[in-house]
Each structure stands twice: as C-alpha cells, then as structure tokens.
Amino acid sequence: MSQQLIVEFPQPGPRVCDNPLARGADGVLRYGNLTPALTELLDLQTHAFSAREAVVEIGGPRLSYRELWHSASRIAGGLQEHGIGYGDRVAVHLPGGARWVQAFLGALLSGAVPVLVDAALPAAAAARMIADSSADFVLGTGGVRNSADSGMPDGAAFIDDGAALGDLALLCYTSGAPAPRGVELTNENLLSAIRSMVAALDLPTDGLRNLVLPPLAHASGCVDQVLPTFAVGGTVVLAPDRGRLAEAIETEHVDMVSGTPRIFTELLPALTAGGAREHVARISKAGHRADRAAAPGVLAEALRAAFPAARQWSVWGATETSGIGLSAEDTADTAFPEAGGVLGFPFGGTELALWGPRADAGHGELLCRGPNVTRRYWNDPAATAARFTGTWFHTGDLVTIEADGLVRRGVVR
C-alpha cells in the first residue's frame, strides 16, 4: 500500500502507562523492561503468590498458584512425552473452566504455541481452524486427532523457559467474515498488552478477584483479563453455569467483573439478581466493532445501578492488537457514553494514524501500531500485505479523531 494517505496523530494528552516506553528502530514504541517471555513472568508470579488462589471455577476446581503451576507443568511433561516441543502448535479446544487454564498453561510450558479454539464453535469450523494451524496436538474433545478425551497428558513436571520476546507465543483466530484468520502474537505482544492493561485499569496487587465472562479462547478473555489478573497475583473466577453469576459475585468476594458489551447486556439480570453489589470496584467492557448489543450510555447506567461503587472502563481492541488499543473511563458525569460512538484514547504503547482522502482533517480508516500489534497473519502473506502498511495495522474501522485525541466511531460528513 502507498503511504501517501497515512496521517499520524500523536497523542496530545498524557499516556496511560506506568512504565517507560522507547521508540525502536522500526518506529514502534516498546516497553524497555519486559521479562524475556510470558512463561517467565508467570513463573515469577507463581513463586511470589504461591499460596493465593489463581483460578476458581464455580462448581468446579479451586487451584492455588502453586497447584495450577504444578498441574500445568505435568501437562507440559506429558506433551513432551508425546513429542511436542518448541514451536509446535497445541490446540486448546475446551470449555472455559479451570481445565482450560491448565491446558493453556501446559501448552505454554511445553514450549509449544497454544492455538485457541472456541469450544462453542460448530465442529466443522473448529476442525478447519485446527487444520489451518497445522496443530501437532489437540487438548480437548470432539474426535480430532491426538485428542485427550479421557484426560490431560500427564508426565514428569517440565518447563521450557527458552523463549525470547520475538518468538511466537500464541495463535489466536479472528471472528467474523470472510473467514477466521490466525493472528500471530509474540511474547512481546502479550507482555506489552498485559503491562498496558494493568496500568490502564489500575489493577491492584493485594488480591484482585476478577469474574471473567468473555470466552477464554478470545483475546478479550485470555490476553486482556486472565493474563493481567495473573500478572498482579489475582484470582480468575469462572462461572460456566451462567445461572450462578450472582452467587459467584457474593460467595467469591468478586471485586472486578469483565465482559464485552454484548455479554453484559445479555447477563445483566443474572449479575444483578439479589440487588446491587457495593463491593465490586471495577467493571471492564471490552469489544470490537461487532460487539455492541446496547447503547453505550444505557449499558453504563445499568451497570452503575448494579455496581454503584465500581469504576467502569470501555476498552477497544482487535485480535490483531492483542485485544487492546483504546480506552475510556465511563463516569456519571462524563459525556462519553451518552455521546455514543466513543472508542477512547490510545493507551500503553498504541499510536494512531488515519488512512483516506480526509485523513488530514481527522476522518478516515483507523490505523494503529504498538508493541501489542501483531506483525503478520499465520500462513497468509496476502492478508498480511492487505492489512499492513509497514508497521501500521489497518483496522477497517472508520473513525474521527478529535483534537484531544479521542477516537469516535464513524466519519463526520
């Protein structure tokens, strides 16, 4: 693509970031103090918070950091005994419970690249995704090859800690038309997204308990909620039975609830059964352009009534940006939600540009780059060439960028 129509928009206000960023030789802002790999960050947190609960599944297992890490390392050892090693792809095709988290971490610790396959997908769609990834092993059910239907692989505890920042760490598929594409996310992409989310949502390290509602096989669930919660030594609370959400919030002393706008709209009655929850301190609403089930202002007000003490954030992102990029805090006195179409301000290392004939006037297709942005699609050079101009990712969203850096959906005519 020609670069003639790209107009960069430096962020005029303070950036939401609690760590130093420096511009690399490729022009991308990067964090300068990341651990070499995601596994090393998780290992450090496991030892720092070994006795804390890492994962609680309502009606299912409760695992401390020590127990989760040990079980994951046994799965990694079992995978190694099946010949799985560095760079191999291991599909995680399981419902979103504690077992999913164990499988995901087991694949990571084996040195393989987890491939996230949503258990809710039709069997044919899941099979196509697994085939496209050339998965060497499948952790899950459904009759696909090497499926661990009777249980997880089990072997001597094993951890492959030889990965580097630029190595592929996760293969996450897009949703929607024309067909899902595999997005390559490196250790740097994931660690940068984690660092950015921890700062943007002001996540505490004193025992956060996050009820995670998005599918774990999506970037909005795994990258934006599960991993940042682990990064601060918090507890991921999972409720596969949606009828037990109110119970989960009360009995597990949940102080953060994360979901997408569509999920919050659908589950609000279940979340609010029994009255308002004063102890919930944070609400995170994350989604991309297709995930708008209710008017933002209406949803924000409904959540404020249900969780009167909670700060609310709306986070925009795509799978290609590790699920993050823009955020806005919704408060009772802000005009953002009521104005509609607000995507937010860039945060972390995300930078913005516009593409199109009116880009210099602040209207056009949104482009972004940053340490969280993928460098390419899996085995699809044509799609990579079509969606990237240098380091700039073409989101496909038509937006207006205002003078203060706020991004709104839609182009003013």
How does pLDDT run across 321-341, given as a tens digit for each residue?
A: 999 999 999 876 664 544 568
Buried b or exposed e, range 182-212, using 16+ CB within 10 angstroms = bbbbbbbbbbbbbbbbbbbbebeeeebbbbb
* Stretch (H or E) spanning 115: strand 113-116
What CA–CA distance (Å, rounded) separates 115 from 135?
Answer: 8
User: Binning pLDDT at 50, 70 and 90, where does residue 275 land?
Assistant: confident
Amino acid 376: pLDDT: 97
Task: Supply the pLDDT for residue 152.
Answer: 94
Q: Kindly give the interhelix angle for 261-272 and 296-306, rounded to the nearest 10 degrees.
A: 30
Helix (H, G, I), strand (E, B) or coil at 388: strand
- Give the model's confidence band at 273: pLDDT under 50 very low, under 70 low, under 90 confident, else very high: confident
Quote the CA–CA distance of 20 and 197 in Å, as a whole number.
15
Q: What is the pLDDT of residues 97-131, one digit of tens each?
A: 999 999 999 999 999 999 999 999 999 999 999 99
Residue 289 pairs in a beta bridge with none
Q: Of 59-73, 107-121, 137-151, 161-175, give the lowest mean pLDDT range.
A: 137-151
Distances in Å between the Cα of 213 and the Cα atoms of 97, 220, 281, 284, 285 are: 11, 10, 16, 10, 10
| pLDDT, tens digit (0-9, with 9 covering 90-100), for 179-214 | 899 999 999 999 999 999 999 999 999 999 999 999
pLDDT of residue 151: 77
Q: What is the pLDDT of residues 16-33, one digit of tens each?
A: 665 689 999 999 999 998
Q: For strand 209-212 and strand 235-238, is the pairing parallel, antiparallel, or unpaired?
A: parallel
Kindly indicate the confidence band of residue 62, based on its pLDDT and cuts at 50, 70 and 90: very high
Q: Which backbone phi and psi does 270 adopt, to 5 degrees?
A: -70, -35
